[in-house]
A and B are shown apart, each in its own frame.
Chain A
């Protein structure tokens, strides 16, 4: 699988974020043996089916929250965890603050913030 990306060597870009046991984690800081017995979800495992996207993926597309797509897998995984951590209730300042661990060089973050704000209620009503 090649969906998850490596964007740095100092654990700062967030391109590598995956979900381990329901929490977003920078996978570059974890050794494979450490996740023995854990449930790991990567960007490849998010969409419920081949023609249906996760609400966060959907929101990223609708809001043009990606350009080159390199940061996107990590962004989406972090964003989902953020929404859940905040109990599906987010405001712009919170989203911006909590995106602190994810770098994007293309979008200027504006549309990523919009997408996450739009996805929060959508995830809630979809029950994911």
Chain B
């Protein structure tokens, strides 16, 4: 290994040059000859029957090539979009699966639902024509308010889901939990809302497609986090184009955060229409369309209770949650509030008994699915909010109460009462380090100083656990997943010694082209500039599951390591022949094969050359070529953990919350590129703080109009909302993958909301305020403070 570029080094990213010089290639950048442009006419109503759609006038508009509606897709027998995870309810029945047509047929179910697709020579002509389409709607009452979505008499979203209930699911034994509550010395209760968010990747979703009449092949370029999975869904369920006749390319993609995992209406239509139009079609969402139609995140209403003995030892936890699915079940939506949420409710604690009941509801709002953290931020928010509240009620130090209940280091592997077995962890040094970095001990002095300036200062903790590195296929299969969750890699040497590494993972900002190259460099000794990482194209990479759930390194990196093992094993045989030695005596180190105990050696490059020009080669025993692939299916999830501490100051006059300091100490196992890992933590923290303090997707409760549909109304975190962050690490390597790594992509967003809100509640406690909901905007805080004043008066 060359020092400074292998595992553990802060290698500057190889992909940066193209992004910094404006030469990145995103979907919208593609030059496609004779392209047409698509525009989607969308429902202005949350719930309506479509009486008629008249496209006659629109079709006669200048530049219009074609207009398609649900009638056309129905006639072509297009399948509906699917939800790929079957969750079984309390009684073992599969969840309700309402139809999800790609184009609305006779009903629209949220503002933004797709009604017609206009294809024209230019985007302006397409938009003009869309305005000329006449749709006669019969507007119906909408079911918008989640807290009442399951009430008797709430407007029905789908006939297939009576009472708007998709499933009523549970985990744990309720009677045992109730028995523990009956014996508790103290019970802390919490009602809490996890606010709905809009992912807002800076690159809007886009799709472009081309059909080759000669071969019958389709190419779809899509802003996808998982091109192979998208192709599989389109082929097997929706369009019926065989997989080998459909190539899906996800080139440079400008952020995803989950929202680009799913199979969407627009890319489906663009692909389908390409052969009908006979010219390439391009579509790029406008930001207002992203707000309306990207799958949203979170949106839970929860009641939780924690039972303790008189020393503060947790005895049992019970949680009741209503989760919003939106109008249709998006690709992985059903798994998020169940297997990615309730199974995490043990957190870092030894709570022996847990019961959770989750009811999933459909509403007349955009579909809701995985968003950075997916279920795990919601779980962490519940646990860490109730633990902090319990500490206040028990008059205990918030850190001490956590420590008292931590899973002891010697107890790993640790079986929780909610299905997961944590593989490794060591929580006390993490919280200690966070306390040190944040100077928790000096906090009361800072609080007093702030008070002298008329400010309310608060501090909040959040000790999270997450299960990521998705996922062991047999486990997710037994829980209802429709796919496996392994990852693939192919290492293809060229005769001149450089190497292409194909991965089934996909980078949309995570820096795989650097991190994965570091692995190859470290393991095989190939110089960095001789390594190319290839991803995002079903035509050039082996089938892979894509990037989400902090899985790329833990699963995709492990596949790469497996493939390097195969390269070395084969290389040894060739090298043994070249050095006239016994293969058992050949060792590989720093890019060179050696015969143990001698000075005989042959570099990998020479072995590769011999494999492609096999003149002097053991052809009877070894095939020519140096090209190996591997599939890696993880033995377990990986379990990153950490503690964040947030310190805020509130101006009681204006309600404004300022984040003064934010500390994160994480255990991500071994780290390949610390610079990239820090970037992931920073970005995650900001999304988490954004959720806590500013972001909220708001629908008008009567009309179902999205009132936070632009950057004027949806507050995005900006640079001046934050201080610089303080980070620290502790390392317990993952025991079951070859790199000893855990995931780092979601941790920041998982832990931050509870840390911030615990700090806000701590700051407001002197006013007698016990609870504040997210987002803690200045208006929200100001109103809460006014309410407290009125109550006190």
Contacts and interface: CB of A to CB of B under 8 A. Distances in A.
A89 to B, nearest CB: 18
Given A10-B710, A61-B12, A99-B720, A69 B19 contact: yes
Interface in B649-669: none
Interface stretch (A29-37, A102-110, A120-128): A102-110
Contact of A57 (B21, B201, B257, B286): B21
Interface residues of B, number: 55
A43 interface: yes
B20 A66 contact: yes
Contacts of B711: 8, 10, 12-13, 103
A110 B718 contact: no
Interface in A80-122: 92, 95-97, 99-100, 102-114
A68 B203 contact: yes
A76 interface: yes
Contacts of B25: 2
A113 B722 CA distance: 11
A70 B202 contact: yes
Tell me the dominant secondary structure on chain A's binding face: loop
Contacts, number: 173
A72 interface: yes
Contact of A1 (B22, B202, B710): B22
B23 interface: yes
Contact of A60 (B20, B253, B255, B686): B20
B716 interface: yes
A4 interface: yes
Contacts of A72: 19-20
Contacts of B725: 108, 110
Among B201, B257, B508, B718, which residue has the most Cβ atoms of chain A within 10 A? Answer: B718
Interface string B234-273: 0000000000000000001111010000000000000000
Contacts of A103: 202, 711, 716, 718
B19 A66 contact: yes
B76 interface: no
Contacts of B712: 10, 12
A104 B718 CA distance: 8
Contacts of A47: 20-21
Interface residues of A, number: 52
Nearest to B12: A61
Contact of B719 (A6, A10, A57, A109): A109
Contacts of A44: 21-23
Contacts of A43: 20-22
Nearest to B712: A10
Interface in A34-77: 42-44, 46-47, 53, 57, 60-62, 64, 66-73, 76
B509 interface: yes
Contact of A9 (B28, B253, B286): B286
A5 interface: yes
Nearest to A97: B720
Nearest to B722: A109
Contact of B22 (A2, A100, A114): A2
Nearest to B716: A103
A106 to B, nearest CB: 5
Contacts of A64: 12-13, 675-676, 678-679
Interface in B7-64: 12-13, 15-26, 28-29
12 contacts: A3-B21, A5-B202, A7-B204, A12-B710, A43-B21, A47-B20, A57-B20, A57-B21, A64-B678, A68-B253, A72-B19, A96-B719
Given A10-B711, A62-B12, A109-B717, 7 more contacts: A3-B21, A67-B255, A71-B254, A103-B202, A105-B200, A105-B255, A108-B722
Interface of A: 1-10, 12-13, 15, 42-44, 46-47, 53, 57, 60-62, 64, 66-73, 76, 92, 95-97, 99-100, 102-114
